[in-house]
Amino acid sequence: MVILKMDPTKIKGKEFFTIELDLDKNNVTLYVNGELRNKIHTIKAESLFDRMLKIAKLKFLKMRAKVEQA
């Protein structure tokens, strides 16, 4: 199982998320602020995890750029 957690002390955003990848069961789980938001069972769990990670990274970088401009 692979778990990605963002350190809340280093982020100035309003929401904290965790994306979990369970390769044994082929599940990808998304938690926002500790609350289960989405659980997906798919054959291509690893590629879905990679796409979710890429989207989360781009959103984070966009948010950080807005904070730096202010």
Q: Residue 5 is inside which H or E element, if any? A: strand 2-5
Give residue 4's pLDDT: 52
pLDDT bin (cut points 50, 70, 90) of residue 2 is low
Of residues 23 and 13, the one with the higher pLDDT is 23
pTM recorded for the entire structure: 0.60
Hey, what amino acid is at 26? N
Whose tokens are 């807005």? That residue is 66
pLDDT bin (cut points 50, 70, 90) of residue 65 is confident
pLDDT mean across residues, the chain: 77
